Amino acid sequence: MTDILFVLLSFFAIIGALGMVSLHQPVHSALSLILTIIALSGLFALLSASFLFMVQIIIYAGAILTLFIFIIMFLNVKEANLPKEPNKNLTLFLGSLALLPLNFLILRAFYKMPLLTAPLEHDFGKIKPLGMELFTKWLLPFELISILLLVALIGAVVFGRKDEA
């Protein structure tokens, strides 16, 4: 059962990613990226990371990509504003050939890894132990991330302001 789920989810994730890279219109790319994100959240659920499953759907599919599609609609992109890519398929093909050795190297390093068979704790990946971990061992990175978010907020406001020359 989990095998069928895994194969289906990874199939949809890879199909969505390929569509995202190869489609011409940005809206179509964003929609296929949403397919990939939701399939990846299913894979997180298979790995018993239930909190990350929710975060992935709520934050990525719900907030980031919705904001993204909103921006694409807001900019009102016409066909003439899109870049012309006459030999897009050729560059995609050559690029994928160039990326093959990297994949081969990394996958060969992981080939001998054993299976994930040992039973997990019953609350593995739930929100409470994850929060305990986050606020004890990872407190300093958490605070630094909050500063980073503040800086990004200020940066977005500064960029978005109208410039009075």
Residues 18-37, interacting with another protein (CB under 8 A):
18, 20-21, 26, 29-30, 33, 36-37
Q: Would you tell me how many other CB atoms lie within 10 Å of the CB of residue 70?
A: 10
Residues 132-161, interacting with another protein (CB under 8 A):
133-134, 137-138, 141-142, 145, 148-149, 151-153, 155-156, 159-160
Using rule CB under 8 A, residue 117 touches another protein: yes
Using rule CB under 8 A, residue 8 touches another protein: no
Using rule CB under 8 A, residue 101 touches another protein: no
Cα–Cα distance measured from residue 108 to residue 153, given in angstroms and rounded to the nearest whole number: 42
Shortest gap between Cβ of 164 and another protein (angstroms)? Answer: 15
* Short-list 50, 38, 52, 46, CA closest to 2: 46
> Which residue reads 């012309």 in tokens?
84
Shortest gap between Cβ of 165 and another protein (angstroms)? Answer: 13
Shortest gap between Cβ of 30 and another protein (angstroms)? Answer: 7
Cα–Cα distance measured from residue 163 to residue 133, given in angstroms and rounded to the nearest whole number: 44
Residues 34-73, interacting with another protein (CB under 8 A):
36-37, 40, 43-44, 46-49, 51-52, 55-56, 59-60, 63-64, 67-68, 71-72
Residue type, 25: Q
Shortest gap between Cβ of 96 and another protein (angstroms)? Answer: 6
Cα–Cα distance measured from residue 62 to residue 55, given in angstroms and rounded to the nearest whole number: 9
Shortest gap between Cβ of 91 and another protein (angstroms)? Answer: 4
Contact assessment for residue 69 and residue 88, using Cβ atoms and an 8 Å cutoff? no
Q: What CA–CA distances, in Å, run from 142 to 54, 71, 105, 109, 132?
A: 19, 29, 33, 32, 12
Q: Which is nearer to another protein, 37 or 165 (CB)?
A: 37
